[in-house]
Amino acid sequence: MSELLSIVLFVAAIAVYAVKAGRNIWWFGSILLILTLYIILNVTLVASNYFTGDGINDAVLYTLTSSLTGAGIGKYILPGLGVLAGLVVIFGLLTWILRRRKNHPHHFGYSLLAVVLALACVDASSAFRQVVDLVKTQTRNGESDFDAYYKVPHGVINNPKLNLVYIYGESLERTYFQPELFPDLAPELTGLKDSGLDFSHTGQLPGTGYTIAGMVSSQCGIPLFAPFEGNSSASVSSIFPKNVCLGDILKASGYENYFMQGADLRFGGKDVFLQSHGFDHMYGAQELKTMVADPSYKNNWGYYDDTVLDEVYEKFIELSKANKRFSLFTLTVDTHHPDGFISKTCNRRSYTFDGKVNQSFSAVACSQEHVAALIEKIKASPYFKNTVIVVSSDHLAMNNTAYTYLNKQERDNLFFIIRGDKPEAKLIPVKRSTMDNGATVLDILGGDNYIGLGRSSISGESLSSVFLNIKDKILEWKPDVIDLWNFPKTITEYTIEREKNTFSFSGAHFKMPLLLRISEDKIEPLPESEYSAPLRYQLAGFSVKDKFIWVDRCFKMARLWEPKLALSTGLCVSQGQLGGKPSVHLVEAQIDKQKVKFADELLDKDRFNHNVATLRIDENAIRYQADSFIFSVPGAPLNVKQFTGISRPEDWGRWSNANLAPEVKIEYAEPLPEKFDLVITAKAFGPNAGKPVPVKVGNQQQTLTLGAELSTTTLHFDNPERSNTLEIIPPEPQLSNEGNILGHEPRKLGIGMENIKVVPAA
């Protein structure tokens, strides 16, 4: 009903303004802004529903503020382009309608009424309500009994004897494993489930309904709730750093912890979470490409389940033969929404339901076959008697092509355990949640029967049984869970550990580079990643009074505030205010500890404007004082007017990029000398190595031959025409992702340049 009301109010706002209000730029801008917000909120709601089936929730918040690296977006490109085209049409039409009476006198009353109706339509929309509710749940109301139920387990298992294989099935919920609902869909894995300890009522609670959240809840016994600010996995070096999770206990007990999946580890910050909690050996799409038989056999998300689970078995045998105490976790991907993927080695490649082939069901039939095959191989090995095998869904299936049929049933997550030491077939129908999974496994391995809010379903009582309104209780505890992130509100000193690439203060640890916005009662960490603006652009958005600490490569900040370090590629820390005179500190020690003290100085508006303008200068327009072209820093020396065909700076230098221009061209501000030496330190990429590279100055041409490693060559030029242009023409530019930024198009690389210097001849 409220959604219908919001639509009526939306149309009414447009009608009142278009027909009655007349022309006024301020009122026009106001109502267009509000109605645009309404449209964006509703598009966000539709998109969120498409992915989650549950609107704008914590999964949406966390995913959008975390790393999207490795996301399988292939199946969403066309729908996304369609939405974008639709938005362009809608905004164009909306603007045209609102300006219909632009030549009529302005009417204040109707303009005000239109704006009020527009605000009302936003307030009545489901999307706005969901966002408001999401914000409200971050605020504590009254006293909390969280501490009475949150339990920290002991850090070790005494005398551990069993190894652990833990298999997360992507969206592989228990609903699929009911033959009376979906006949012959998953007979192989259903049979194995029935031969072990089968926990039949594993519910899904708020903050546990997506992959990284399912992993956190199952290993740490808490939902994944995060603060709106500062929780990006692109910036933090740990997730719930103070919590004791299953991986921490296993590592402290002598286990070597392994994690293996086909997708990129960085998506959603899985790498950050695992590194935070005891996992030293992790394999994802990037790591597996040098291990698998066919690196090109991949789907949109990464390597197929048959490939990954074969690698899991090989690792299981390797570790078992070495007589090591280990845990081996893996995560499948072929059943990922919207409709999954079918690997080429499946026997069950198609499943018909309701009279037609359903891709999501087909993916389940295929993937479960691979999971079952892995378990059967482990069971057949001589090492099974010392092994516990756990199979669980990471979360309930999201909005896939089987979603309609699943929602007609009572849905539960999959969780069953097969013990090699004590084989037992038993159905355990207790009410529980995925937060209980880690505690149950820990109990079986000989440790405590609790982790966080989780309890063992063998010897304890789940909070899902204690509280009839467990979902409401979890939301009530949300502020307490957020407090576990341990985000500090003050900074008096910091520690930089260069080997770990971390910046730490007040018990929190962040990856570098990093920018901190500091106010009286809040510190906002701003990361730099493939999905955020460079830190200098983010800093340029600060106000004149905002305090900041910026840790990054020296040349990025020193050209403003410490000229002697303007060409340094070392690590520097700058702190201060844009309206003042920020300091720059060169980090030289491996572990550098410094006090934080902001100067009490008079802020200057002109100085602020100069700093902001300098921060916003395009990289290629930057000029520095030097007698050579140093390619490891942005820009060019003062004597260079412009340049083309050169890619972005990297730690060692820059590649030529034929996607930008077929040759490297450097145009100097003044004519080059009549006679000079050209000293080039460079290397060649791929087939360019060993081949002559033409180097031209005006009508004069010489050749340069480079190897795969950096070397220095001197060429002697006569330049009677006093040309001011240098050209270098790579013979065979090659498309490559060498050193590329994730998500960017491959570059066409030819030669890599570290330094070019013009030396006038005597």
> What are the structural domain ranges in the chain?
2-136, 146-482, 493-617, 621-760
Q: What SS3 state is found at 491?
A: coil
Q: SS3 of 646, please?
A: strand
Strand-pair category, 256-261 with 281-283 = parallel
Compare 68 and 130 and report the one with higher pLDDT: 130
| Predicted local distance difference test score (pLDDT) of residue 225 | 86
CB 118 within 8 A of CB 458: no
Question: Mean pLDDT across the chain, nearest whole number?
Answer: 87
Half-sphere exposure of 146 (CA within 13 A, CB side): 21
Residue 719 — very low, low, confident or very high, per pLDDT cuts 50/70/90? very high
Does residue 415 surpass a pLDDT of 80? yes
CA atoms within 13 A on the CB side of 260: 24
The span from the CA of 667 to the CA of 664, in Å, is 10
- pLDDT of the residue at 234: 47
In this structure, what DSSP letter does residue 99 have?
A: T
Supply 396's token pair. Answer: 């309930």
The 10s digit of each residue's pLDDT in 615-663 is: 999 989 999 999 999 999 999 999 999 999 999 999 899 999 999 999 9
pLDDT for the residue 238: 72
Is the pLDDT at 454 greater than 60, yes or no? yes
- Encoded amino acid at 24, one letter: N
330 CB neighbour count, 10 Å cutoff? 25
Residue 486: the pLDDT is 72
User: Are the C-beta atoms of 141 and 48 separated by less than 8 Å?
Assistant: no
Q: Which residues contact 575 (CB under 8 A, 6 or more apart)?
A: 547, 548, 549, 550, 582, 583, 585, 596, 598
**One-letter-per-residue 3-state SS of 125-160:** CHHHHHHHHHHHCCCCCCCCCHHHHCECCCCCCCCC
Residue 40 has pLDDT above 90, yes or no: no
149-183 pLDDT, tens digit each: 999 999 999 999 999 999 999 999 999 999 999 99
The verdict on whether omega for the bond into residue 338 sits within 30 degrees of 0, i.e. cis, is yes
Q: Give percent above pLDDT 70 in the chain.
A: 87
666, 629 contact by CB (below 8 A): yes
pTM (two decimals): 0.68
Least confident of 27-36, 191-200, 353-362, 474-483: 27-36
Tell me the mean pLDDT in the region 410-428: 96
Task: Specify the DSSP element, H or E, that contains 191.
Answer: helix 187-194
Residue 418 has pLDDT above 70, yes or no: yes
Contact 724, 709 (CB under 8 A): no
pLDDT 10s digits, 366-379: 999 999 999 999 99
Query: Which band of pLDDT confidence, cut at 50, 70 and 90, is reported for residue 4?
Result: confident
pLDDT at 684 over 90: yes
* 715-718: Cβ within 8 A, 24+ apart: 715/677, 715/678, 715/680, 716/675, 716/676, 716/677, 716/678, 716/761, 717/672, 717/675, 717/676, 717/677, 717/678, 718/674, 718/675
| Shared fold status for 146-482 and 621-760 | no
pLDDT, tens digit, for every residue of 73-114?
A: 455 455 556 556 665 666 666 566 666 655 566 667 777 887
Fold type of domain 146-482: Alkaline Phosphatase, subunit A (3.40.720)
Cα angle, residue 632 at apex, residues 630 and 637 outer, rounded to 5° = 30
pLDDT tier, 223 (very low <50, low <70, confident <90, very high otherwise): very high
Class of domain 621-760: mainly beta
Tokens representing 551? 């840790």
In what helix (H) or strand (E) does residue 673 lie, and over which residues does it extend? none
